Structure 1
Amino acid sequence: MKALFLALVTLIALAACSISPNFTPTPALTNTPVAAATSALTATATVPPRPTATSTPLPTPTFTPTPQPEQAMVEAAGALRDGEFSAAIQKYQAVLDGSSTPDQVEQARLDQAYATARSGDPQVAIKLLTQFIDQHPESARVADAWFYLGEIHFDRAAWQDSIAAYQNYLEQRDDLIADYVDERIGDADTQLNDHANAAKSYAAALTQAVATSNVANLHEKLALAYRQQGNSAAAVAQYDAILSFAQQPRYRAQILLAAGQTLIDAGETEDGFERFTELVNTYPDRNEAYQALLALVNASVPVYEFQRGLVDYYARQYDAAIAAFERFIAANADHGNAHYYIGLSYKGAGNINAALKAFDETIAQHPEAPRWGDAWIEKANTQAVGGDVAGAVTTLTTFVQQNPKAPQAPTALWNAAGMLEDSGDFKRAIELNLQLQTDYPNDVNASEALFDAGLDAFRINEHETALEAWRTLSNTYPLSELHAASLLWQGKVANDRALLSQLATSNTYYGLRAGDILSDTAGLPFVPGNFAVDPDEGRAEAEQWLANALQTTPEALRTLPEVVLTDARFKRGSEFWRLGKLSEGKAEFLALHEAYIDDAAVMYALAIYYRDIGLYYPSIAAATRLVRLSPAGSVENAPLFLQRLAYPIYYAHLILPEAQAHNIDPMIIFSLMRAESLFDGAVTSSAAAGGLMQIIPPTGEQIARDLGWANYQQSDLYRPFISVKFGVYYLRRYGLDFLDGDMYAAWAAYNGGPGNAQRWQAASNGDTDLFVENISLGETRLYIDRLRENLAWYQRLYGQ
């Protein structure tokens, strides 16, 4: 459990990620989805289904050679949604070539042009859209054609054409998403160096965007436009507007730097340097503070030496930091903390001996310093980095012996135990873990210290010691996150089937593991699946149950209330979604979700609406919220239809054949996709992982090479049929095949990297539970819990 800390203080751990006997592991796939806005028609995003698309994908049916127009439209919309653009184009052509109604022809022409643009053929798409506008000048769909043209021209850097197309769209659709379109026009004007018109467009966008999350971005763009025109006062006013509501230190630092630079460029140096000084004093750990510091120093503006040293230290300018702290020491009697930061600077520079000397100076000469206790901790960390683990442990235990009431004492014991575990001295680690809990029972790490003591004892076959530690944990800390884990290990080691049976009543990870142990299941349980289910099975019964609880009628639940339909967020979200701007549409819908989060009837109606338009992540969120508001209280107590809304099988027609091809239980893929993206094909994580299966770009390139995928490009990761194919392949090739068929290890490899998973596996001696506890990456450890719990849900809801 402490290995994550040790990775920060030991150099050995840094090499662990690259362990692999057969290949260089590709970077780890990640989860924790975070939506990222896309800026163009050809940007990386899943295509939304058209109105004729089915609400829940099922295994692909057998198509007739010449489908009727209605069926062809459904098939084309499905292909478009899946990212199979060539197939979509062909199916729309079948509609155009068949005996279709005028409305079907009109829709097919527009959608075929859209699919053509998405396929990467902008010239043909422009031709088709222009023809559409000429052929259907009175159609309500002309506005969509102008919007698509605006996006395509923008991507091609045809700025004037883009502006004209966007303006035509605005004439037809008024101000529904005018902030987005005006911003795009402003961006095009900026590219044309027409900053006056850019400023007008950005200002217009701001008047429409007061309730959206894009306000700060628009203020920034408007400020830049003013700067380009030499209007520094107006630019600074925009930056100050941002500072009036921005909360994140990272972003505030960026804006302070921009405001200060604007003032300096305008000749208002005193005011500009005042902003820079505020930045240096308030956010010393930001790179923007270092840029401000350089400007202040170069202009000979006095800077407080201690703060200067901090900024240099965080910027990894260690020599400059040391010099600043030494000047501070020479001029100030109270300088204990300066020695501490000199030690950190030498440590950062790799000068272990000098760092230790500085920490010793703090410890021996400055007991009054606020960082005095931290100096002991950092001295030990530095010793460990230098390879002197025994010396590090001695430093930490000596600190505790001499200063048992110091606030850092529990941390010292915790760190020392972790170092001993890492070096294989489990017996001594047990002593320190137990000491931590005994002497500091209320410390944040007390319960985990007991758990680790149990694991350490288990590793050296001291089972009674292990059981005693776990019993103490379960009896003393019933609210600990490790309470269930301690019960599992007690039941497992003592073969206490009664205890395991009690734990197995829970649907949590440890409850499920207890059930696996009781049933002697090796690895994961297998339950044959039935995926050819009616997506509306049980809907009438669920609606009657919910209507009774809410004292309304089932008919009322099936319709979105007027207050929602007229809500600007609903209107904007629907417009964005229909136009293929998925991230923008989802943002509006999620804001709508928050506005009605305590209204169960609205949550139900939204869950169905979102499902039917293919907006799966918000649908799941709404369904989950609904059951919490309902008498059920939790998903497991809700009617079957609502449970399946929370744990759906979207994209089954893509998942089932890939799972079969790679001999993987489809339920495992559904469980993984729900954990990775919540079936949101447009999502991008903070680690740049994208698409349904959350594959990062370097991994996508590796898979494309493995599969010989022609003309691969990064945007392909957002095409569902490719994402599923690549993700299932990765789970098989770099997970199961690489890790001896162990699905737990394969899951860990998918999230934390094959090299890490191999290392954790090697240290577990074939014990699944020990493998899971060996996982040193917090995100990956929680990922295993989530996948195991998801699998149990899918087996309950879709098992034969």
Structure 2
Amino acid sequence: MERVLDPSVPTFTPTILVTPTPSPSPTPTPIPTPEPGARIKSGDLAFFNGDWDLALKEYAQALENTTENDVKSAALLGLGRTYLLNNQLNAALDTLNTGILTYPESPHRALMYFALGQTHDALNQPLEAVSAYQNYLNLRPGLVDYYLYEKIGDNYLKTESYQQAIDAFLSALNASANGDTFHLKIHIADSYLALNDLDTALVTYQDIFDGTGNDYIKAEAKRNIGDIQIRLGNPEEGYLAYHEVVENYPLAYDAYLSLVALIDAGQTVSELDRGLINYFVGQYGLAVDAFTRYLRQVPDNHADTAHYYMGFAYQKLGEHAKAIEAWQEIVDDHINERYWPSAFDEIATAMFIYQNKPDDAIKTYLDFVDRSPLHEKAPEYLYYAARIAERNLDLRNAARLWERAGSQFSTSSWAFDSLFQAGITRYRLGEFENGIGSFQSSLGVAAAPGNVAAAYLWIGKCYQALGNPDAAQDAWIQASTSDPTGYYSERAKDLLANLPAFSAPAQMSLNFNLDIERAEAIAWMHTTFNIPVEENLGDYSPLFSDPRMVRGTELWNLGLYETARREFESYRQDISSDPGKSFRLTGYLVDLGLYRSAVLTARQVLDLAGMDDAGTFSAPIYFNHIRFGLYFKDLVVAAAGETDFHPLFLFSVMRQESLFEGFVTSTAGARGLMQIIPSTGEEIARLMAWPPNYTEDDLYRPFVNIRLGANYLERQLNAFGGDLYQALAAYNGGAGNTLKWIPLSNNDPDLFVEVIRFSETRNYIRYIYELFDIYRNLYQVQ
């Protein structure tokens, strides 16, 4: 079973900025008349949270109530940046220019120039932006030159000032500290092309092609080489380049452009390549035609490839019977060729999903297993056959097929899941004795502690259903000790205590002092890793001998959070075997506000101490208050008060959703701390009539995202009768899907988790259960 204590967080795509440095320690109680410096800190925290109105208020009061120039310039910087992110662009221009002109000696002047450049960018004033960015570089040279020169080059491109753009991109290339510079080289080559300097463009594209391993970049470079050769009067060399793209990079759009160029020039192109490229650009009818011509010409050469993608093309066209016919050609005539196993899978899937023929789909999978019982796909396909039977509510057949998979392929990676699913299905049938047998069989092939705990929990459930509470208790005790901190162990503990899911602590305290805890952790570090006591682990300065720390900090101060995170993450991974540096980095990242990376670095230290998941909770509390922190506490507590969710529940959801990184975008397009899809965010904002003038970018504001996410989760909770399992399933997997899963569960929350059709949603609920249990144990008052 997957776990959450050592999270593998997906790579996210950034969109807009968040902000610097709150502390996870409790926010001090405001004094009646804050000093201007305190107002700046308060404004910075509001800015970090995305509360523009409060930030503007605090910065304005700081500006009004101080005579200190540094405080005034800090206030103007805060006001200007807030106006910028609040899309009050003229106000941002006026404020930043005032700060720059009025306080020429200010330490904030460089940051003001950068924010001014961003404002000009937003106003589509490229030359003014160039001037502002250059002024930043004059004040802060040698820190993040590569990024600034790239922005300068981008702005010159907007004005078609190609030579100036080339100069800027070359400066960025020379200043770049990492190897991923191909986008800069492409800009340079494109600019030479725009200047009609074909020879230099040709050499530059060839350098790009030779230097990258990325097929899409290779395709773009080679296609441009072909274009240039044609313009230079070398058509044969141009066509050769196009052919290379067509034959080697069919997934790239440049392959389609090369294909069109070859066809327009009357050049002969392989019908197989033509079919593949048309398929990948969505020209499905043309793909079918090309594959058909190819099969008529050379029926034995790569025929399985042609049939395979012809099937997909027909499927995209909605002609599912013809798709199955294409794949059946592979099954019948191309035995043991590349796509032969996959053809069975595609046929079965099409029969079940598109033709509503579950029995035929099951037979297709079983045919493969019978014909190739030693093939690595055989246990997987037998599992799938059982899954289709279960989806078709033919539960006895499903149970038999899963039991067969577990016994026939007892050494495969599918054995445990097969026997476990057989047990769940027997439970659903009310055949509790048989269910116990299947779960006990699964124990014989259970390698992971989480699987052992799962089997014992369900053995206990079966005994409970049979009216044998003593045997149920014994099984749950076994489950509770098999995988401490794992879902099934923690759920078993709650069953033993007769506690409902997500039971809140009777009392809790959300207050702790991370500085005091850090001192205790430092003493532990010296002892655990034999670090000399004279080495001050509370001193961050040794970290800054690495230029990534310097660049990352400067980028963070500029508000370029995703770029900064990449610098810090590169450094974190390189020091993963150094406990002292990892400890220092943990504290620095928490202070900075980069919580995701801080969490991962804290776990890195505990890994070096040889601690497993359960063992990490014997480490000093400092580490776990970071790993399971109360970040954005005031916002979370406020949202909990509005919705009647327990704050620890919302912290658990937020940690699972984003690991407290507010500027993230998932691969599915979900944004911010609570990972809200833009269309959902728009709907919630409309229903709440808040915030004013809502835009999708508001989802990156913690102040907005947390409140919208909590409100949306509460709507799911109300829609599903107060059932937190079902509300979480709806939040992650959709309300419509949840409505389909509920009738399968017989009002049993444990069974509901098992019958959820999406593995992501099943794991989502399990992970949040684990997290809530951890938060409850950390913050409850005994």
TM-score with structure 1 length normalisation? 0.89
Match of 1:41 in 2: none
Distance 1:249 1:774, change over 3 A: farther
Distance 1:391 1:500, change over 3 A: same
Deviation string for 1:223-252 (max 9, x for gaps)? 221221123443344444444554455555
Deviation string for 1:516-540 (max 9, x for gaps)? 2212222222113311332334332
SS of the counterpart of 1:526?
coil
Q: Which residue type is aligned with residue 346 of structure 1?
A: Y
Deviation at 1:458, TM superposition (A): 1.5
Q: Which residue type is aligned with residue 673 of structure 1?
A: M
Deviation at 1:479, TM superposition (A): 3.8
Q: Which residue type is aligned with residue 275 of structure 2?
A: G
1:45 matched to 2:17? The reply is yes
Contact 2:415–2:445, Cα closer than 8 Å, also in 1: no
Distance 1:372 1:211, change over 3 A: closer
Distance 1:274 1:61, change over 3 A: farther
1:694 matched to 2:675? The reply is yes
Match of 1:439 in 2: 408
Distance 1:222 1:447, change over 3 A: same
1:226 matched to 2:226? The reply is no
SS of the counterpart of 1:538?
helix
Match of 2:64 in 1: 97
- Equivalent-residue separation in structure 2 for 1:743 and 1:445 (angstroms): 30
Q: Which residue type is aligned with residue 11 of structure 2?
A: V
- Equivalent-residue separation in structure 1 for 2:460 and 2:777 (angstroms): 25
Equivalent of 2:44 in 73, 77, 92: 77
- Equivalent-residue separation in structure 1 for 2:757 and 2:200 (angstroms): 50
Deviation at 1:116, TM superposition (A): 2.7
Deviation at 1:339, TM superposition (A): 4.3
SS of the counterpart of 1:796?
helix
Contact 1:147–1:169, Cα closer than 8 Å, also in 2: yes
Match of 1:6 in 2: none
Deviation at 1:609, TM superposition (A): 1.3
Structure 1 stretch displaced more, 446-455 or 112-121? 112-121
- Equivalent-residue separation in structure 1 for 2:733 and 2:233 (angstroms): 51
Deviation at 1:120, TM superposition (A): 2.2
1:205 matched to 2:184? The reply is no
Structure 1 stretch displaced more, 659-668 or 611-620? 611-620
- Equivalent-residue separation in structure 1 for 2:499 and 2:230 (angstroms): 69
Distance 1:319 1:768, change over 3 A: same
Equivalent of 1:593 in 563, 566, 572: 572
- Equivalent-residue separation in structure 2 for 1:512 and 1:109 (angstroms): 51
Match of 1:518 in 2: 496
Deviation at 1:368, TM superposition (A): 6.7
1:144 matched to 2:121? The reply is no
Structure with higher RCO (Cα < 8 A, 6+ apart) = 1
- Equivalent-residue separation in structure 1 for 2:734 and 2:766 (angstroms): 17
Contact 1:58–1:650, Cα closer than 8 Å, also in 2: no
1:487 matched to 2:430? The reply is no
Contact 1:57–1:652, Cα closer than 8 Å, also in 2: no
- Equivalent-residue separation in structure 2 for 1:311 and 1:110 (angstroms): 52
Match of 1:503 in 2: 479
Deviation at 1:679, TM superposition (A): 1.5
1:724 matched to 2:706? The reply is yes
Match of 1:299 in 2: 265
Deviation at 1:265, TM superposition (A): 5.3
- Equivalent-residue separation in structure 2 for 1:35 and 1:380 (angstroms): 34
Deviation at 1:703, TM superposition (A): 1.0
Deviation at 1:202, TM superposition (A): 0.6
Contact 2:66–2:72, Cα closer than 8 Å, also in 1: no
Match of 1:388 in 2: 357
Distance 1:707 1:497, change over 3 A: same
Give the superposed CA RMSD. 2.7
Contact 2:344–2:365, Cα closer than 8 Å, also in 1: yes
Contact 1:413–1:433, Cα closer than 8 Å, also in 2: yes
Contact 2:50–2:702, Cα closer than 8 Å, also in 1: yes
- Equivalent-residue separation in structure 2 for 1:628 and 1:593 (angstroms): 14
- Equivalent-residue separation in structure 1 for 2:448 and 2:767 (angstroms): 20
Distance 1:438 1:81, change over 3 A: same
- Equivalent-residue separation in structure 1 for 2:231 and 2:461 (angstroms): 69
- Structure 1 segment 175-574 matched on structure 2, within 5 A: 175-211=142-178, 213=180, 215-244=181-210, 246-249=212-215, 252-264=218-230, 267-332=233-298, 334=300, 337=304, 338-367=306-335, 369-384=337-352, 385-405=354-374, 408-479=377-448, 482-495=451-464, 496-505=472-481, 506-527=484-505, 528-550=507-529, 551-553=531-533, 556-562=536-542, 564-574=543-553
Equivalent of 2:95 in 124, 128, 147: 128
Deviation at 1:363, TM superposition (A): 4.1
Structure 1 stretch displaced more, 319-328 or 190-199? 319-328
Distance 1:389 1:159, change over 3 A: same
- Equivalent-residue separation in structure 2 for 1:362 and 1:545 (angstroms): 63
Contact 1:492–1:517, Cα closer than 8 Å, also in 2: no
Deviation at 1:374, TM superposition (A): 4.1
Contact 2:14–2:663, Cα closer than 8 Å, also in 1: no
Q: How many residues align?
A: 758
Match of 1:27 in 2: none
Contact 1:346–1:352, Cα closer than 8 Å, also in 2: yes
- Equivalent-residue separation in structure 2 for 1:351 and 1:256 (angstroms): 36
Match of 2:657 in 1: 676
Q: Which residue type is aligned with residue 148 of structure 1?
A: A
Deviation at 1:613, TM superposition (A): 2.1
- Equivalent-residue separation in structure 2 for 1:372 and 1:621 (angstroms): 42
Q: Which residue type is aligned with residue 263 of structure 2?
A: V
Deviation string for 1:748-782 (max 9, x for gaps)? 22222222223222321212222112222232222
Match of 1:620 in 2: 599
Deviation string for 1:426-467 (max 9, x for gaps)? 111222222223333334423222222222222111222222
Unpaired runs of at least 5, structure 1: 2-30, 39-43
- Equivalent-residue separation in structure 2 for 1:705 and 1:572 (angstroms): 41
Deviation at 1:654, TM superposition (A): 0.8
Deviation string for 1:572-623 (max 9, x for gaps)? 1111111222222222111221222221111111111111122222221211
Between the two proteins, what is the percent identity of the paired residues? 31
Unpaired runs of at least 5, structure 2: 2-7, 465-471
- Equivalent-residue separation in structure 2 for 1:604 and 1:778 (angstroms): 35
Contact 1:617–1:678, Cα closer than 8 Å, also in 2: yes
Deviation at 1:559, TM superposition (A): 0.6
Contact 2:379–2:412, Cα closer than 8 Å, also in 1: yes
Q: Which residue type is aligned with residue 305 of structure 1?
A: E
Match of 2:587 in 1: 608
Deviation at 1:362, TM superposition (A): 4.3
Q: Which residue type is aligned with residue 145 of structure 1?
A: M
- Equivalent-residue separation in structure 2 for 1:741 and 1:792 (angstroms): 19
Q: Which residue type is aligned with residue 13 of structure 2?
A: A
Deviation string for 1:64-86 (max 9, x for gaps)? 1x322233222222222211222
Q: Which residue type is aligned with residue 24 of structure 2?
A: T
Distance 1:309 1:798, change over 3 A: same
Deviation at 1:63, TM superposition (A): 4.6
Match of 1:15 in 2: none
Deviation string for 1:408-441 (max 9, x for gaps)? 5434423322221111111112222222233333
- Equivalent-residue separation in structure 2 for 1:515 and 1:542 (angstroms): 30
Match of 2:728 in 1: 747
SS of the counterpart of 2:515?
coil
Distance 1:149 1:268, change over 3 A: farther
Structure 1 stretch displaced more, 353-362 or 544-553? 353-362
- Equivalent-residue separation in structure 2 for 1:480 and 1:546 (angstroms): 29
Structure 1 stretch displaced more, 621-630 or 96-105? 96-105
Distance 1:625 1:406, change over 3 A: closer
Contact 2:450–2:488, Cα closer than 8 Å, also in 1: no
- Equivalent-residue separation in structure 1 for 2:228 and 2:675 (angstroms): 40
Deviation at 1:784, TM superposition (A): 1.9
